[in-house]
Amino acid sequence: MSQTNSEILRAEDLHTYYGKSHILQGVSLTVGEGELVTVLGRNGAGKTTTLRTLMGLTPARHGTINLFDRDITRWPPHKIAKLGVGYVPEGRKIFGHLTVHDNLRVPAARPGTWTLNTIYDLFPRLAERRSSKGANLSGGEQEMLAIARALLLNPKFLMLDEPSQGLAPVIVDEVMHTIRQMRDEGIAVLLIEQNAWLALGSADRAYVLGDGRIVDSDSAAAFLENKERVKALAGASLDPAGTQ
Amino acid sequence: MELLLFNIFNGLIVGLFYALMALGLSLILGLNGIINFANGSFLALGGYLAFTLKPEIGFWGALVASPLLAGLIGLVIERGLIRPLYGRDPLYSLLLTFGLAMIIQTMLRMTWGANGLPFKVPDFMSHPLSQTYFFLTGYRVFVVVLTILAAGSLFALLQFTRVGVRIRAGNSDLETVSALGINIYRLRAVNFGLGILMAGLAGVLAAGRLGLTPTMGASLLMPSFVAIIVGGVGSLMGSVLGGIIIGVASGIVTTYYPAASQVVIYLIMAVVLIVRPRGLLGQEGLLE
Ligand SMILES: Nc1ncnc2c1ncn2[C@@H]1O[C@H](COP(=O)(O)OP(=O)(O)O)[C@@H](O)[C@H]1O
Ligand SMILES: [Mg+2]
């Protein structure tokens, strides 16, 4: 278990609603400095809602969120982002009518290693397509663009919502490689995945979400030792061979 | 022939007022998601501010300062009154801007009187440039040039500055813009102010052409909505094009059948809605 010395994120007893439906029913989780933590769970478990709550997009009605030693529970998204949080939303949410380059000019750039130039070095494909409209990119290119956009904030903490969704296996490998690269550079990562085997292969720790509650958590290594445990908790769609 | 040209040119000038107003309306509809019925009153406010400022800082000073001042007032009103209504039933903001239109209009009447006031433009601009084409006064040419400049600057701002890029991004997905660290409350206020600035500029220009009355903007408001529909909702270029088209069409009809000069505007709208519901430059899928 790679429980690190200092926590950057501590969420406690989060309760989130969409109107009257009570979606998150007491979610608590932590992320340590430099850690890659994954949140698993089947479709509709509340993974996206968890990230949206942490990002301030769908604020929690009860519970507290501490980030970088600050209580950000009632903060608006832009203030949270400016603390150094990169958010790669579900479905990428590329600005389709904007060019790649303009997409990269939207974020409130914080000073740091990531600038337009270093981003184009990291993702040469985006440099090639800088004048293309976001909507005309392939799924993989869009995912890279969404990650690039978040990196321009020079985040200390990166949250990604199912980055592998709808991508070809080769591209998924590339995306996962980039995510590990970021973790290795010291960025803490909270990665949401439906594909448990994929996420556990890269993560330090994992939480399993079921019906708006954390139903299990352990080191990634411990989960990987016991395949039945993952299958039982997260559903049959998580077969390592992908025989869904 | 001269009469036709005269009316076409007149129509073009009025069309440019529609265009400026429609640009402001489109901006505000796009990012703020509000149909701003107060735009006409802000237009009049711009004109009256220029009327009051001109003796102090001259025509050119007033031309620059009044739209800016109107924009600033718009920005403050957005922060105070409109901001609490985002995310609610559109009916609220509709009612609010409608009420705002009335309040501003009444304030104009109380401050400057209900009667029309003249707004004199510098002498050198008020003379015809040509004997044959007597209607080609310096001022009218000036209005054309200035509208092109203003619309051009707005497009450049949206295309090339970061604020502009963020406004365009926010038009489609404001939430993601906020998650990328942008204060969308401020962005919306700036955008609203920018829209009012365009209305204020239209007000100063229209004052020099039509004079001032508290209701001067009200008569330009409906055609500006039509301009947006004809040009295509969501397309700023469309708003300009729509304004010019209905202005010129109205001018042409004035020559032959003056009684129908306003009706033709709505006729064009009806035809566009039937033949091409998205408008001339509107995006596919928005309305069809
Ligand atoms: N905007 C919304 N309004 C109402 N219910 C929603 C909304 N978004 C998600 N839900 C519901 O909340 C639950 C959790 O959704 P979500 O967080 O998207 O799950 P996951 O990301 O794990 O698939 C689901 O039952 C879903 O139907
Ligand atoms: Mg989800």
Residue-wise pLDDT tens digits, B188-210: 999 999 999 999 999 999 999 88
Whether residue A39 lies inside any domain: the answer is yes
Mean per-residue pLDDT, B25-43: 95
Total Cβ atoms within 10 A of residue B145: 10
Residue-wise pLDDT tens digits, B261-275: 899 999 999 999 999
Domain of residue A26 covers: 7-234
Mean per-residue pLDDT, A140-167: 95
Domain count, chain A: 1
Residue-wise pLDDT tens digits, A193-202: 888 888 998 9
Do the beta carbons of residue A161 and residue A90 sit within 8 Å?
yes
Residue A62 has pLDDT above 60, yes or no: yes
Whether residue A244 lies inside any domain: the answer is no
Report A:1-60 residues touching B (Cβ under 8 A). 55, 57
Q: What are the contacts of B118-126 at 24+ separation with CB within 8 A? A: B118/B211, B118/B212, B119/B47, B119/B50, B119/B51, B119/B54, B119/B207, B119/B208, B119/B211, B119/B212, B120/B208, B121/B59, B121/B208, B122/B59
* 3-state SS, one letter per residue, for chain B: CHHHHHHHHHHHHHHHHHHHHHHHHHHHHHHHCCCCCCHHHHHHHHHHHHHHHHHHHHHHHHHHHHHHHHHHHHHHHHHHHHHHHCCCCHHHHHHHHHHHHHHHHHHHHHHHCCCCECCCCCHHHHCECCCCCCCCEHHHHHHHHHHHHHHHHHHHHHHHCHHHHHHHHHHHHHHHHHHCCCCHHHHHHHHHHHHHHHHHHHHHHHHHHHCECCCCCHHHHHHHHHHHHHHCCCCHHHHHHHHHHHHHHHHHHHHHCHHHCCHHHHHHHHHHHHHCCCCCCCCCCCCC
Predicted confidence at residue A196, as pLDDT, reads: 86
Residue B286 has pLDDT above 70, yes or no: no
CATH assignment at residue A74: 3.40.50.300
Write out chain B residues lying below 8 Å of A81, CB-based: 178-181
Residue A244 has pLDDT above 60, yes or no: no
Whether residue A84 lies inside any domain: the answer is yes
- pTM value is 0.92
Architecture of domain B2-275: Orthogonal Bundle (1.10)
Whether residue A172 lies inside any domain: the answer is yes
Residue-wise pLDDT tens digits, B217-246: 998 999 999 999 999 998 999 999 999 999
The ipTM value here is: 0.91
B262 touches chain A (CB under 8 A): no
**Measured between alpha carbons, how far is A145 from A151 in angstroms, rounded to an integer?**
10
* Percent of all residues in chain B with a pLDDT value above 70, rounded to a whole number: 98
Q: What is the mean pLDDT of chain A?
A: 90
Q: Which of A50-54, B57-61, B233-237 has the least mean pLDDT?
A: B233-237
Q: What is the DSSP letter of A178?
A: H
Residue-wise pLDDT tens digits, B100-114: 999 999 999 999 999
Predicted confidence at residue B25, as pLDDT, reads: 96
How is chain B split into domains, by residue range? 2-275
Which residue in the set A102, A106, A110 is minimally distant from B177, CB to CB? A106
With an 8 Å Cβ cutoff, are A96 and B182 in contact? no
Predicted confidence at residue B125, as pLDDT, reads: 84
Whether residue A116 lies inside any domain: the answer is yes
Q: What is the mean pLDDT of chain B?
A: 92
Residue B2 has pLDDT above 70, yes or no: yes
Confidence of residue A5 (pLDDT cuts 50, 70, 90): low
Q: Which of A106-120, B224-238, B240-254, B272-286 has the least mean pLDDT?
A: B272-286
Residue B86 has pLDDT above 60, yes or no: yes
Best probe residue, ligand 1, of A25, A39, A49 (max atoms within 8 Å of C-beta): A49
User: Which residue, judged by its Cα, is nearest atom 7 of ligand 1?
Assistant: A18
Q: Which of B89-93, B164-168, B177-181 has the least mean pLDDT?
A: B89-93
Confidence of residue A2 (pLDDT cuts 50, 70, 90): very low
The half-sphere exposure of B144 on its side-chain side, counting CA atoms within 13 A, is 13
Q: Residue B199: name the closest of B31, B12, B45, B7 by CA.
A: B45
Residue A81 has pLDDT above 80, yes or no: yes
Predicted confidence at residue B287, as pLDDT, reads: 45
Whether residue A135 lies inside any domain: the answer is yes
Total Cβ atoms within 10 A of residue B103: 12
Angle at B175 between CA B171 and CA B176, to 5 degrees: 90
**Measured between alpha carbons, how far is B171 from B198 in angstroms, rounded to an integer?**
18
With an 8 Å Cβ cutoff, are B175 and A98 in contact? no
Residue-wise pLDDT tens digits, B125-169: 887 877 777 778 888 899 999 999 999 999 999 999 999 999 999
Predicted confidence at residue B156, as pLDDT, reads: 96
Total Cβ atoms within 10 A of residue A2: 14
Confidence of residue A73 (pLDDT cuts 50, 70, 90): very high
Predicted confidence at residue B283, as pLDDT, reads: 77
Which residue in the set B165, B181, B182 is minimally distant from A98, CB to CB? B165
Mean per-residue pLDDT, B249-271: 92
